[in-house]
Amino acid sequence: MAISRYLESRKNIAGSVCGLAGLGLTFAGVAGPYWPVVVAGLYGAGALVAPPERPAPPDFPDASAQLDAVRADFEKLCGYLAEVDLPPAAAGALTELTELLGALLEPGWVTDPEDVHLLSRAVRQDVPEAVDTFVRTRWWARMTPGQEPPERHLERQLGLLREEAERVATALREAEARRQETHTRYLQDRRRP
């Protein structure tokens, strides 16, 4: 394996090219009786001057593979959210948010790594933390009445998360509209003589 790797390396290829040049000099009569030294020297010089091999970059999963994992986590999140008892306003905001996240997670829509990261963070961290914090705080709020109800914080958090998801959806809609307009212009231009 190491021998085949060296045979395909830049150093060997550069050395071989220079060695062939040395053979050319030998056949031209320039090297004389020292031709083996000339050929070996040129091979060595070519191998020394060749750029070093670069290690291959790490093979990270692409956006679609990452989204597959986020989709699986989204299903787990939906199972968790189905068991949580929320006030009607927060439950409605959560339903709207999860429907939007579910639509964005459909295959073929989100491809930008930044958007994948935003969806991943929303599904794996932001939504579960907001709901779990509400559930825990609601229990303590019974002990200390008179403070701002935890439902309001939850509703604001879910609203902010929905705004983030809507920005992604808006960008996708605009990109698709531009794509459609571009294709229409292309077809119109193709018709003209």
DSSP 57: P
Please enumerate in sequence order all residues whose Cβ is within 8 A of that of 171, keeping only pairs 6 or more positions apart, or say none.
Answer: 115
pTM over 0.75: no
- Rounded Cα–Cα distance for residues 184 and 180 (Å): 6
Kindly give the confidence (pLDDT) of every residue in the chain, 193 residues in length, as a single tens digit, with 9 standing for 90 and above: 678 888 888 888 999 999 999 888 888 888 788 888 888 998 999 888 888 887 777 877 777 788 899 999 999 999 999 999 999 999 999 999 999 999 999 988 888 889 999 999 999 999 999 999 998 887 666 566 667 778 888 999 999 999 999 999 999 899 899 999 999 988 888 877 6
- Rounded Cα–Cα distance for residues 106 and 163 (Å): 19
* Maximum separation of any 2 CA atoms in the chain, in Å: 103
Torsion of CA 188, 190, 192, 193, to 10 degrees: 180
- Rounded Cα–Cα distance for residues 65 and 88 (Å): 36
Q: 155 near 93, Cβ under 8 Å? A: yes
